[in-house]
C-alpha cells in the first residue's frame, strides 16, 4: 500500500512541477524579448516550434506575424520592428496563465500586452493586447513551445475562437 501511495504522490508532484515549470517559462518570455536576449527567447521554442503573433497596425507590407522555428523567433527579436520598440521603451507582459498538462503536451491560455512608452503623455500606452494560446511539448531539454498563437482582442471573432478552443 505504501508503494502505491508513494507512486501516486510521485505522479502528483510531477504534475505540479510540470505546471510550475511552464508558468516559469512563460514568465521568461517578456524579460527575454525586452532585454533583447534573442537566444533566450528562441530557447523557449522547440527548434521547429511556431509563433503566430497575429497582425498589428503599421505592419510592413508583405510581412506576416508568423515565425516558423526558433531561429525565426531569434531573428524577430534581433530585427525591426522589435528593436525600435525596445529602444523607445516597451514591455511585453504575459498574464498569469491557465495551464492544462496532458502527459507530454500542455496548453496554456493567457493574455499578452505590449505597452509602449508615450513621451507626449509621460506614460505608457497599451498598444496591443492579445488572446494567447501556447502549446507546449516535453523534450529532453525540458518543456518547449510547439506553437504559440496570438489574436488581437479588437472585437473580431478570432480572439474569441482562440479562447473557446483552448478552454475546451
Q: How far is CA 120 from the centre of its chain?
A: 30
Nearer of residues 26 and 73 to its own copies, judged by Cβ = 26
> For residues 118-143, b (16+ Cβ closer than 10 Å) or e, as one string?
eeeeeeeeebbbbbbbbbbebeeeeb
Nearer of residues 9 and 48 to its own copies, judged by Cβ = 9
59 binds its own copies (CB under 8 A): no
89 binds its own copies (CB under 8 A): yes
Contact set for its own copies, span 106-165 (CB under 8 A): 109-111, 113, 115, 117, 121-129, 131, 152-155, 159-164
Answer whether the bond into residue 153 is a cis peptide, omega within 30°: no
Nearer of residues 26 and 76 to its own copies, judged by Cβ = 26
Nearer of residues 24 and 68 to its own copies, judged by Cβ = 24
Taking the complex as a whole, how short is the minimal distance between the CB of residue 120 and its own copies, in angstroms? 11
5 binds its own copies (CB under 8 A): yes
Asked if 158 contacts 149 with a C-beta cutoff of 8 angstroms, the reply is no
Taking the complex as a whole, how short is the minimal distance between the CB of residue 134 and its own copies, in angstroms? 12
Three cell numbers, residue 105:
503536451
Question: Who's near 99: CB < 8 A, 6+ residues apart?
Answer: 19, 22, 23, 106, 107, 108
Nearer of residues 115 and 146 to its own copies, judged by Cβ = 115
Residue 8: what are its φ and ψ, rounded to 5°? -65, -45
| Rg over CA atoms, the chain | 18
Contact set with its own copies (CB under 8 A): 2-3, 5-6, 9-10, 12-13, 16-17, 19-20, 23-24, 26-28, 30-32, 34-37, 40, 57, 86-91, 93-99, 109-111, 113, 115, 117, 121-129, 131, 152-155, 159-164, 166-167
Amino acid at each position: 500500500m505504501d508503494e502505491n501511495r508513494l507512486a501516486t504522490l510521485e505522479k502528483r508532484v510531477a504534475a505540479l512541477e510540470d505546471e510550475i515549470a511552464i508558468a516559469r517559462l512563460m514568465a521568461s518570455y517578456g524579460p527575454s524579448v525586452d532585454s533583447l536576449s534573442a537566444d533566450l527567447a528562441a530557447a523557449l521554442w522547440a527548434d521547429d516550434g511556431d509563433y503566430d503573433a497575429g497582425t498589428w497596425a503599421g505592419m510592413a507590407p508583405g510581412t506576416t506575424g508568423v515565425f516558423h522555428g526558433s531561429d525565426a523567433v531569434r531573428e524577430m527579436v534581433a530585427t525591426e520592428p522589435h528593436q525600435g520598440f525596445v529602444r523607445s521603451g516597451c514591455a511585453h507582459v504575459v498574464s498569469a496563465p491557465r495551464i492544462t498538462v496532458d502527459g507530454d503536451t500542455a496548453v496554456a491560455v493567457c493574455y499578452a500586452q505590449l505597452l509602449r512608452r508615450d513621451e507626449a503623455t509621460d506614460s505608457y500606452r497599451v498598444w496591443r493586447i492579445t488572446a494567447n494560446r501556447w502549446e507546449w511539448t516535453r523534450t529532453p531539454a525540458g518543456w518547449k513551445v510547439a506553437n504559440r498563437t496570438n489574436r488581437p482582442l479588437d472585437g473580431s471573432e478570432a480572439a474569441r475562437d482562440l479562447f473557446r478552443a483552448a478552454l475546451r
